[in-house]
Amino acid sequence: MRLTAITERLAGLGGGKWEVHLKARALAEAGADLVEMTIGEPDVPTPQELCDAAALALQSGRTGYSNGRGEAGLCAALAETYTESRGRQFLPENILCFPGTQTALFAVMQGLAEAGSEVLVGDPMYATYEGVIRASGAEPVPVPLRAENGFRLQADDLTARVTPRSRAILLTTPHNPTGAILTAEDIGKIGKIAQQNDLWIISDEVYEHLVFDDANFVSPLSDPQLADRVIAVSSISKSHAAPGFRSGWCVGPAEFCAALLPVSETMLFGNQPFIADMTEKAVRDGSSVAAGMASRFASRALILEHRLHAETGLVVHRPEAGMFALVNVSACGMDGDTYAWDLLEHGVSVMPGSAFGESLTDWVRVALTIDDERFAKALDRIVAHANLSDRNVA
């Protein structure tokens, strides 16, 4: 059987990273009593007004072909929203629409990286980042995100890994899986490195509207000095609790978007008009559910930290945003993979940190998206598991 090189580059980078989650799902479907804390589904349904908008557009015949850039109304809404939120002007020419952030990332990477080039990316990283980089033929270059620095990318660590083959820096802010938010100072330093080495900056901002408490989100798009080298990607999946609609976009220099347009057209030639109409409403109206989700996720992260610090030797890194928290499980005498599989036998599924990079060997990622009752049940089981007589917990 003859296959292409891309299949080899992506071997092991698909569903294999979600092995614990898939096993947990299978056990639950077979009747096992499990609390699932592996993936980040919003904890509320898609708002009814958005479902109604999609249904109305569908019934109105908005089912024809679109174009490679995206529906005019949605592109205009995004341009207006980004102009207001980023403090500089954006036009529809700065927008390309895609079915979700993942597709946007894939397409953007196809336009920026290729065989022989490198993409600098924080480690830990979202589970699909290595795949979207390798799909282009480029090599991912992990840059450690250290717990002692709040898991925020440090300029010195980045500079040490820049080479003549470096083409782009892939950022996530707010970050998955750590929940860290880059500060304006962080972005300024990263931007200078990008300017000095003629690097693109790709900023995944899908958790922008799930920021906790008094934390502040800052986008590289807001810096006019970086206007010619920053591309942001996002979607309504998290902010509007609409992951199944698969509606996202990229925002960047008009010249880049024009150059990438044939790539988009080759991939999908436009997204679905009835979903674009719903997304336009979502973008123009803002989210009716994001603030509530952020409040609940922040509260659960605080409860997780208090309970595990008070009752076990496990160490929680409390996030500033997003849907997850990290737990260092080394006090149990296990690495994250061993711990995740062992905890699964005690009725809770979590993601091993290794799914997100080598720097999280001793960590697991815990979803904050389950309801409070099940969250409390999971914590009871995690505490009991950590304090088993044969555990080395202080």
Other C-beta atoms closer than 10 Å to the C-beta of 311 total 16
SS3 348: strand
3-state helix, strand, coil in the chain (%, to 5): 45, 15, 40
Say what percent of the chain tops pLDDT 70: 98
Q: How far is CA 40 from CA 140, 296, 342, in A?
A: 24, 13, 21
d(CA 151, CA 156): 14
Contact 202, 105 (CB under 8 A): yes
Q: How far apart are the first and last CA of the chain?
A: 54
pLDDT in tens, 314-363: 999 999 999 999 999 999 999 999 999 999 999 999 999 999 998 999 99
pLDDT in tens, 77-107: 999 999 999 999 999 999 999 999 999 999 9
Helices (runs of H) and strands (runs of E) counted in the chain: 13, 12
Q: Which of 237, 278, 182 has its CA nearest to residue 369?
A: 237
- pLDDT value at position 242? 97
d(CA 184, CA 194): 15
pTM of the model: 0.94
Helix boundaries (H) for 198-253: none
User: What DSSP assignment string belongs to 140-207?
Assistant: EEEEE--GGGTTPPPHHHHHTT--TTEEEEEEESS-TTT-----HHHHHHHHHHHHHHT-EEEEE-TT
Using 50 as the pLDDT threshold, list the residues of the chain that sit under it.
Answer: 393-394
- pLDDT value at position 390? 52
Q: Which of 233, 279, 273 has its CA nearest to residue 71?
A: 273
Q: Which two tokens stand for residue 328?
A: 């260092």
- pLDDT value at position 394? 44
- Return all residues near 40 (Cβ < 8 A) that are at least 6 apart: 176, 238, 322, 323, 324, 367, 369
Contact 261, 96 (CB under 8 A): yes
- pLDDT value at position 12? 78
d(CA 79, CA 183): 24
Q: Which two tokens stand for residue 28?
A: 């639950």
Q: Which of 210, 114, 123, 126 has its CA nearest to residue 167?
A: 114
d(CA 138, CA 100): 22
SS3 274: helix
- pLDDT value at position 18? 83
- As beta bridge partners, residue 168 has 119, 200
- pLDDT value at position 291? 97
Residue 336 CA, chain-centre distance (Å), reads: 20
Q: Which domains does the chain have, with CATH numbers?
A: 5-45+289-386 (3.90.1150.10), 48-285 (3.40.640.10)
SS3 120: strand
